[in-house]
Chains A and B, each alone.
Chain A
Amino acid sequence: MSTAEKTRPAERTRAADRERKREPRIADEHGRRVRGWELALRYLLLLGVLALTIGPFLWQLSTSLKGPTEDIFSSPPKFLPSDPTLHNYERVADTIPVWDYALNSLKVAAANVVTNCVGAALAGYALARLRYRGRRVATLVFILAMLVPVEGIIIAQFTTMRELGLNNTLVGVVLPGCVSALNVLLMRNAFLNLPYEIEEAAFVDGANVWQRFLRIALPAVKGTLAVVAIFAFMGAWDDFLWPLIVLSDPSRFTLTIGLNYLHGTFANDERLVAAGTIIAVAPLIVLFACLQRYFFRGVGEGAVKG
């Protein structure tokens, strides 16, 4: 390293450090000052991308708040509703049982969170921390399962559900993904990274395997568990293809299937569809805004490992 310190880049950093101490300015992740015009350009681009990513959601929100007399097809388009109203949200509930659908989605998502957290933590602990004949086989089962593309087995999953008499039930919606292999492997990695000594002390004190898991190992991997919970909730709340295949009775629809149904049946009234989509997306945006710190860490980890 001593030769590297003598090279120019290091000197430049020290110069940048001195400069920063003299006049505090906006600096990048390496502590170097960001020039004014470059900063302006960056913000300009950021705002442009912001308009592209958030704009469509805002336009949908705006449409959902426009009253029946307002022209939603005007040219040039009007972004702000002239007389904002919640009327469309009442009407969407009269047209389809949207709150029942939301409740169904909530049940499915909540069940998915509980089963994934419990099942993945238990299995992950068994794969990482316990030793027994067949552990490699068990690990291999989850790795293989992770590689199977869901879209390819969906018809066989459907016939399996029929054989079990669970098609057209919410239990049937939850079951196939209720302990996802990816989550098991995420939990396994988290447990593997725990220092081994903390459990050893408990072992000496006579703690059995269940006590060690529950009292010591599990609290230490809370972060990963939170990531699993977020993914499980989002995955279940957003899923479309599987509920579309397994549910046939409109009274049992989840929100995504209900929305597709609303769109198909009442495509002529965009205000209604817009209100429905806002009902479906708002809880997730709120959830995401609250948990985004865990989220970004988790997405990066999950993606690289997956």
Chain B
Amino acid sequence: MASPTLTTGTPDARKGGGARRVRRQLPASPWLFAAPGLLITGAFILYPFVSTLVNSFTDRRTLVPGEFVGLANFRELLHDDMFWIGLRNSSLYVLGVVPALVLLPLLLALLVQKNIPGITFFRSAFYTPVVASIVVVGLIWVWLLDERGLVNSLLETLGGSPVGFLSDQWLILLSAMGVTVWKGLGYYMIIYLAALANVPRELHEAAAVDGAGAVRRFLTVTVPAVRSTMVLVAALSSVAAFKVFSEVYLMAGPSGGPAGEDTTLVMLVQRTGTGLTGRVGYASAISVVVFAVTVVLMLLVLRADRKEDA
């Protein structure tokens, strides 16, 4: 090819770039293109990440530069009741939310998969909770689950007695999980829709010919076909669930419900590390635990995936 070749990453493009490239493109210009992104990412993501790791070994406070204290923060964590409460609640959140978010959006995707009239309206409508801000969603549900809110007045109308969704330690956590699932349904539904579009219909037909009913076809055809997507959803939702903040913060209040029993780990990070007297070093140590558990969760999910393959 006689024409000059563009500078791209494909191996054959390297040939012939040579002298002309120098004339048409300053050596610095790729870096100028990437500079804004690299600067922002470096300054506000990677540098804070490294400084979180470093700070976790110091006694730094908001206004006081800290000194190296070794593992003191981590030793203190072991004896901090609030930390264990946070770890318990964040872990319970994963156990409560993930199975629901793996299964329910799949069923929802099957429901909206068929192109029947009006289906795009339903798909968009089911996605609305994802679009709404978590604060709006939280406040709506606080009002719905209030002692005198809609859910309780419906319960009373049906002859039940009001339930203290927002006053009991465990019911608060359960309600917050419900809100997380409610808000996440539409998001994971879309992921499943994309996966379902790739399931060969011959599989379903073959199963139907063999006399398999809808439930059996779901278990023997649909689930195996979207299994890798289920693993993806499990990974995404478990990591997100472990880092839960807003739902519990809004429903239990900033102090984490009765006696702080509903505090999650990220709530604890926020409470410990901010403000003028914030214990930045200690909050960083909790953050490091959050990182570590997140990584372990990812590895566990991926491992579960491999096992099923074998």
Contacts and interface: CB of A to CB of B under 8 A. Distances in A.
Q: Do A and B bind each other?
A: yes
Interface of A: 4, 7-9, 12, 26-30, 34, 39, 42-43, 45-46, 49-50, 52-54, 56-57, 59-60, 63, 73-77, 115, 118-120, 122-123, 125-132, 134-135, 138, 141-142, 144-145, 148-149, 151-160, 162, 175-179, 181, 184, 196, 199-200, 203-204, 206, 208-210, 213, 234, 237-241, 244-245, 255-256, 259-260, 263-264, 270, 273-274, 276-277, 280-281, 284-285, 288-289, 292, 295-296, 299-300, 303-304
13 contacts: A53-B182, A63-B143, A144-B46, A149-B239, A149-B291, A157-B44, A184-B41, A204-B4, A240-B245, A244-B270, A245-B270, A263-B139, A299-B190
A238 B243 contact: no
Q: Is the interface of B mostly helix, strand, loop or mixed?
A: helix
A74 B124 CA distance: 32
Contacts of A27: 115
Interface stretch (B78-86, B168-176, B279-287): B279-287
Nearest to B282: A155
A56 B236 CA distance: 26
B299 interface: no
Interface residues of B, number: 109
Contacts of B269: 151-152, 154-155
Given A53-B185, A263-B142, A138 B34 contact: yes
Contact of A300 (B139, B146, B190): B190
A47 B113 CA distance: 15
B159 to A, nearest CB: 11
Contact of A145 (B6, B45, B124, B280): B45
Contacts of B7: 129-131
Contacts of B47: 156, 160
A95 to B, nearest CB: 15
A131 to B, nearest CB: 4
Given A53-B125, A238-B134, A42 B36 contact: no
Interface of B: 3-10, 13-14, 17, 24-25, 27, 29-31, 33-34, 36-38, 40-49, 51-52, 55, 60, 62, 108, 111-117, 119-120, 122-129, 131-136, 139-144, 146, 148, 150, 153-154, 156-157, 182, 185-187, 190-191, 193-194, 201-202, 205-206, 209, 232, 236, 239, 243, 245-246, 250, 254, 266, 269-270, 273-274, 278, 280, 283-284, 287-288, 290-291, 294
Nearest to B195: A304
A95 B174 CA distance: 32
A178 to B, nearest CB: 6
Nearest to B131: A288
Contacts of B194: 300, 303-304
A58 to B, nearest CB: 10
Most buried by B among A9, A153, A160, A208: A153
